[in-house]
Chains A and B, each alone.
With several copies, the nearest count.
Chain A
């Protein structure tokens, strides 16, 4: 019973793409075939026991019928180690995992909001959602934006890319939520808009609030710490308004923003 979600994935290419990011293309035909925007994979960065756990990464694109793309930022031990993996080697890959973004309906105008390193799953969504898409990108400064190539790719895929930086070094000065709010306020026909957001918790809470104020549906991708990715360890819990927790890896990572208990969430997680 070899599962079709556990793979030795061949590294097709692996290159730095600027601003601290790497682009990793993996050959994993079954995963590539079934992957949906918003889903993720767990990658083991080495065969040693330190680091021990696999790392979760969103799928940023399906490149061909057999390959998928990961865009990752080097932030710590695991991602640093991952950078040394060479094309031709293979990595243990588990996925696709989780539930993706609900598929935009025909008339929907998807509004994507990315903060920090939350853009990869949204890139895949843009790839699938077609040209009506709006993308909001926010960062502290120009250097913290996604790699220039990715911004370009977004510009090709989407109708419009709106950029904001705290210091005004690129796009408008402000946060992505500031310019999102302004955009929503001035947009007249809001009934087809749906928000899809991924980024730090504080930003997701803010987006969620704006969505509620404008009465627009909003889906957020919650990047929690994960051990198993399979719903077994109960480590990736997201607090629900209705009480209790749901698992980001199984019932998520994408949730309807109204389901989530943002008060507790924001309180506890201001770190990220």
Chain B
């Protein structure tokens, strides 16, 4: 697959008159152009919930996915937080993994070769504990083969420095993303924090810094307590809330962001079914990422894809462009 980055800001693709009409509906067109990246379909995997692809290859033909967003990568290997790291909550879960990862060099040497075997877009989620580290990772990724885009995580609630500290401060967000922008020619997608008063301000900051797309949302900061031990359920004390519980917040933020900037958006947060995904597309996302659902059903990505396709057939929708952002909010 060729991964072009021309015609960056466009979510659009050329009209194909031959695919309009009845026959088109029988096999609806799910391909999209996301920030200049051609995707077979809008279904991606949310970072940190799909490993580096390999973990799920037994269940999902990676070639069928719109793309894989890998677990967050940093300059140096990171050990992560002590256990317990996860806790289940009503229709959701808390995690405080602490961004455990083998570092960018090991990733490029040991994980990318596997992913390159597939004809699917690869997005590398990355982060740092300082601006310099972010830039360092971006520089290394810039040279690497087979990477369609970089998803910059400025919103991880589970590390003290870095992560959310950037993503909840407008100025820091702008400066960080601007610096990363200079460090790479790859398409840049800013993954925004939902733990802010006004997500649209951060969306604009990302646009101003030259990003090509947005991902939202990351997890909501949460906490649960073991009332008998009187200790937090997570050793890290607080963690990130994900899963269906947060979907209404996620749909709202995607909708708000889509109305305030023209960048294409990867929507995520609690997607389990094709209909869930449709909510995000209608709210204005050009693609979606399936996260926590992978844990309860390793084939969730394909089920979501089938659901979207089935819905388009049922509703006689030939092309995703007839859906994206098309909620009638009165």
Contact = CB atoms under 8 A, between A and B. Distances in A.
A–B touching in complex (CB under 8 Å): yes
Interface of A: 1, 3, 5-6, 44, 49-54, 92, 94, 224-228, 230-239, 243-245, 264, 268-269, 271
A248 B91 CA distance: 24
A245 B95 contact: no
Interface stretch (B43-51, B121-129, B139-147, B177-185): B43-51
**Chain B residues touching A, majority SS:** loop
Contacts of A225: 83-87
Contacts of B171: none
Interface stretch (B20-28, B291-299, B316-324): B291-299
Nearest to B102: A244
Given A3-B58, A54-B296, A232-B56, A237 B100 contact: yes
Nearest to A76: B88
A203 to B, nearest CB: 17
Q: Which of A6, A92, A245, A269 has the most CB of B within 10 A?
A: A245
B83 A233 contact: no
Given A231-B51, A234-B100, A235-B85, A6 B80 contact: no
A51 B245 CA distance: 11
Interface residues of B, number: 42
B296 A53 contact: yes
17 contacts: A5-B58, A6-B298, A49-B91, A50-B90, A52-B93, A224-B84, A228-B55, A228-B295, A230-B55, A232-B50, A232-B51, A232-B56, A233-B97, A234-B71, A235-B86, A236-B85, A269-B84
A201 B240 CA distance: 26
Interface string B281-302: 0000000000010111111000
B82 interface: yes
Contact of A268 (B58, B59, B83): B83
B329 interface: no
A94 B229 CA distance: 32
Contacts of A243: 79
B67 interface: no
B235 interface: yes
Q: Top 4 nearest A-B pairs by Cβ distance?
A: A235-B86, A232-B51, A228-B295, A49-B91
A227 B49 CA distance: 10
A53 B83 contact: no
B59 A245 contact: no
B18 interface: no
Contacts of B90: 49-50, 52
B244 interface: yes
A49 B272 contact: yes
B103 interface: no
A3 B59 contact: yes
B243 interface: yes
B297 A92 contact: yes
B306 interface: no
A268 B82 CA distance: 8
Interface in B48-91: 48-51, 55-56, 58-61, 71, 79-80, 82-91
